[in-house]
Structure 1
Amino acid sequence: MESTSLQQYVCSLDFRSLPRVVKICSGVYFQGSVYEISGSECCLSTGDLIKIVDIQLQKVNCESTEKDYLVELPLNFKGLFQLSPEQSPRTSMKHFLSRTLSFKDKPSACDKRQYTLQEVLQSPAMQGKTLKCLEIGSSKFQLCPVYQVEAIMHLRNNVVKIESTLDVEVVDVTEESQHVHFIKPLMLSEVLLMDNVLPVRAEILGAPEGMPVFQSKWISRLQPGCKIQIHHKVLSWKILASSRKGKRRACRFLLSSRYEGCFRRCPREFHSTSELTSGLGLARKLHVVVTKDYDSGETEPPLFGIGDRLEVLSLARAADPSAADVLECIRDNGDGDTERIEVPLFLDAGFVEDIRDSRKYTLPEVLEHFHLPCEVKVVANKDTSGPLSCVSVLTLENQITEPFLAVSLEDEPSVTFEIPPRWMDMSLFFTGGPEKPMFPSSSPKVEELTEAFYYHMLKMMPTSTPAPPRPPKRSDSEKNKCSQRSSKEGRRKASEPPKLPSADAKDTFKEAAKLLYPRTLQARADSHTLVNPNQYNIQYGPPRPQKTTKHFQQSPSMLCSSPTGNVLWCLTHTKAPSLT
């Protein structure tokens, strides 16, 4: 079949026969070219198939036969067209007959009928004819419509929009391409919404997008061409955790709700009495041991000392705005005597939590009894070869309810893992359903995260830590005492006679001067030790005071322009040149 340009093919096409499949033929784009189409790159190579699904008229150019002008007609143009008695020089008789004999309503080298713009464009027999229109002028011209072709290409996400004037040749292969299926790739995030298609086999087209998420071996396998099987959606929650810094580098993990290990509570450390309020959390009582005294002053007896045990009951809010909030506690000094005390907030002291239960908690039980974030000690880890094998203490940061997809490699079904599509999105296409029912092995219950993604997650998560209490406001009497004290010190210093600087003070003054004027002193010192006579002896002194300059303000009455209008002269300060 003979190929034709895309413009000629579209103009001669009956739009009612869409969709049509065309093949890119050899020509200017023999090796294929990349076009910028609708903001994205599109490659049209020789032999590629495209499926035209829609054609939209964009504009109509009216070009004179002498090629001396070009006019763009509006799509709602109301003028009437008439065939010119003479054939267009570019249209051969053979081409004219091949176009006109296939239509019943054949325009006639003596047809006096008038046609609207739509009638001319919709009739393939009128393509390439020389026309006349009184509304345009007396010249002869031809109509050159420009269409936007919407087509589907193999393995492209979106519909491609191509202008019909693109210089490429095509041939219609609709009849012999009935068995051809154009594959539209999908994103993994789209598969997450397709519960009715799972399980399904797929092939990866593009590597995961975005920053690396997991530090696992199966990440490197997810490359273009890799075949996988998507089993089902995983809706279980997970825990974001991190290890304490020590001999081993700090690591970040994602613990599945199916994790079977057990934990014990770790004692928390507090560095002030105000931190004890946040330590209450979900617990009704908090037991701590004092590890650092506070400065209570000489007149006030200390409320507690090192080794005392405190049971923090609650935070008592003060009814008076000028009064401070206090912590209601029970003090046990170790001799069996207990006393109920009120501890003011914002005391700089040290405490460590007194853990009084040795119970082992599963991960769901930790969420039930404790408040995140919290530190726990790993006491029973069944997976001795997993990421937590060398970790003893974990900080459980936050709970995550992100949907995952259970995936396994087709050539290695034992390698099963869970992918979060919104964190690791990738393009793929379905290759069909499973050949036989597959029961995937259990996916890892702990995944190690990359450091960059860990901090990225922390930015996205809302913090659940309560804000610390605000310090009490200073009363007016305290402010007056401070102001009176500062004013007395100022008057005392002003009444003292000035003291002469001592020898040590003079040396200190010299050192300060060197810091203030290093360049000046160094230059003066070098002036006495220069040996080379060709070296400049420059002495830098203190900067001279700058003279104030008065800026002249021109008055509008003092300005005039030259006869040429190009130069503006000031009559009182500048003498205009002679015009002779």
Structure 2
Amino acid sequence: MALSLEQFVQSLDLRTLPRVLEIQSGIYFEGSIYEMSGNECCFSTGEVIKITGLKIKKIIAEICENIESCESPQPFELPMDFPGLFKIVADKTPYLTMEEITRTTQIGPSRLGHPCFYHQKDVELENLTIKQGEQITLNSVEDVNGELVVNCVIVRNQQNHSFTLPVTQEGEFYECEDEHIYTLKEIVEWKIPKNRTRTVKLTDFVNKWDSTNPFPKDFYGALILKPIYEIQGVMKFQKDIVRILPSLDVEVKDITDSCDANWFLQLLSTKDLFEMTGTEFPIVAEVIEAPQGNQVPRNILQPGKIIVIHQKYQASRILASEIRSSFPKRHFLIPSSYKGKFKRRPREFPTAYDLELARSEKESLHVVATKAFHSPHEELSSVSVGDQYLVHHSDTTEVLCEGRKTVVNVLACEKILKKSYEAARLPLYMEGGFVEVIHDKKQYQISELSKQFRLPFNVKVSVRDLSIEEDILAATPALQLEEDITDSYLLISEVTNPAECWEIPMGRLNMTFQLVGNFSGDTGSYIVRALIEEITEEQYYMMRRYESSVLHPPPLPPKHPPVKETKLTLLTLAEESTAEPPTSPKSHCVATAKNPPSTGAGLDPRAPIGCQSDVMSEKSKCGALQLEAPV
């Protein structure tokens, strides 16, 4: 049965892609127009196209003054790279079957692909009853003995209960409220159900927006996002990627079941390669589409180049950022094979709690205070600008708080005097300022730094990597090594030189390949070249948000009015000291640490235990800066 192209797209189940369409009829102006590699071309009746994907080409936004009844006479296009942060407003239109949810909602392996719904009534299963309003998380869709089912989970009493629901399950399923904050790109890729609009609330901006702001001044309200789709496909016996708007006025017929597989060249995206099993490699492929400005040398990834894709695997990288006062900062992914050498640079610590996070059992942390702190309790130490400390361990002590004794978490230190030491106790909730004093002159490889020191860690390249033509790290004034991450890579080589291989990231290079065949050459030993990769601000933001295994809470302000402060010049304090501090005799060591009592779920360890309710009330509202792990 013939359908208009728009009707076909509306009824398309993305799980059934690819689909093969035959052009039936339409209104032509010397043919129907579509775009291919930036050129205008035309269809003819009887032409065949293989639909490989459906992407959102652009977003039309409407300002929504009242979420209950949104009306805006002036919709406008929102750039896809718009750096805003949004909260999603739950859709109040029900889904009547699980099949409708799976057909229109992205369900995938990442945490972004795990949507949550609730049901209006209890749902009786064989071994479980889903209660009315209980949050159901959808993790994946799979085929079990010819029947499609959805793998789900609910959480009760902090315990996960897994179960499956058939896609034929009927009912009234509603979206759960979502408290997370998303970028526009995340919403476009994961959070806009097909054939529906999405209402969102603007909360903040990731970074400075240089282009014309499309919103009224100080606007932080609701928007309706309407996607404009683009069909991606390939023509019969052609290898160029075709991009068509669904509004093209043609009728089509789905002939997937009767087409010949040999009509189309086998095109693979990086996503397709990621889903292949390891036994399907190595393969020979031709590059069809490649990103501009890739860092692999000798133009290996240029269109038309024949390459060998040896395998896919996980590789480790150190995420690093340039240390500078001005923005934007540059961000890098450094492989463990980097042969340059680093020297340590002083770190800055805004609070005593940051000292606790940075201290190490291998060496004493030596710091200089850059802010004054007046202790409200005799049992705790006051700090003057220029005081020097050796940081030892966390501890607890009792203080009088509002007329009663309260246990406070503290940092046990030694204050360095001219010829001796003095025991000091700094409260973890203290908002201060400290700069590290470096006595270590050793030069380190990147692999040594990640093993010996706790990240984040400040360094400067002292010896550039002579094995690469241009060492982009050597030009940076200083770097902060932020965290060790694991990412997915493809190992590729030229077909004429399979012994020299290059790692290319799967998630940051959107490429298309044509499968040529299996590789029959020698797959024995080869040399792997891993490049330093400079990433964008958006890519950095996403990594800090999703790759961090541990997100430490941001520092809290002090629980008493701050005293008048005087700051030293950080440049003066940060100079590497050539004089070692006095040797700390055992007689001057601070008392042995006690085991800090548990503060309970949701309470902050930096605050006095007796005043936790005050701390909870002082926590700031959820905002953009809380999405990134603190540096």
Greater strand content: 2
Greater helix content: 1
- TM interval, shorter chain, is 0.3 to 0.5
Indicate the structure whose relative CO is greater, using CA pairs within 8 Å and at least 6 residues apart.
2
The TM-score, its normalising length taken from structure 1, stands at 0.46
